[in-house]
Amino acid sequence: MRFMLVFYADEEEWVALPDEERTAAVARIGAWYGQHVQEGHIIEGCRLAGKGEATTVRLGPAGRSKKPLVTDGPFIETKEAIGSYAVVEAPDRPAAVAIAASWPGGGAVEVRPVVEG
């Protein structure tokens, strides 16, 4: 099964880290990605631009698309923002959750099955 892991963090906390700590965190995250790619778990993944670069297109209630309302900023009101994502291959949800739980970047990780077909 494929699962999308969405990594959230407080961008202000990240930027406030001393350079040495941020560099060490980036190295840990890179090692984590490398390990899971080597093990065949990560199918794809990317770092995303900060929430200041986000644009949201709101289309009204589900199933009832209205005139689009385009606004600057992330899609939800929150301190935390999506920083990156990974699509992983795992036999089941507990295995995907275990991969997410090993994330060294702090913040939060959302685990969501990818709908096939």
pLDDT tens for each residue of 33-86: 999 999 999 999 988 888 777 777 777 776 677 777 777 665 555 667 788 899
* pTM of the predicted structure, to 2 decimals: 0.81
- Sequence-ordered alpha helix ranges (H) in the chain: 11-16, 19-38, 93-101
**E strand intervals along the chain:** 2-10, 42-47, 55-58, 69-72, 80-89, 108-113
Average pLDDT over residues 93-105: 92
Q: Are 111 and 96 in contact (CB under 8 A)?
A: yes
CATH superfamily of this structure's domain 2-113: Dimeric alpha+beta barrel (3.30.70.1060)
C-alpha distances in Å from residue 20, one per residue of 8, 13, 52, 56? 21, 14, 24, 34
Average pLDDT over residues 89-102: 93
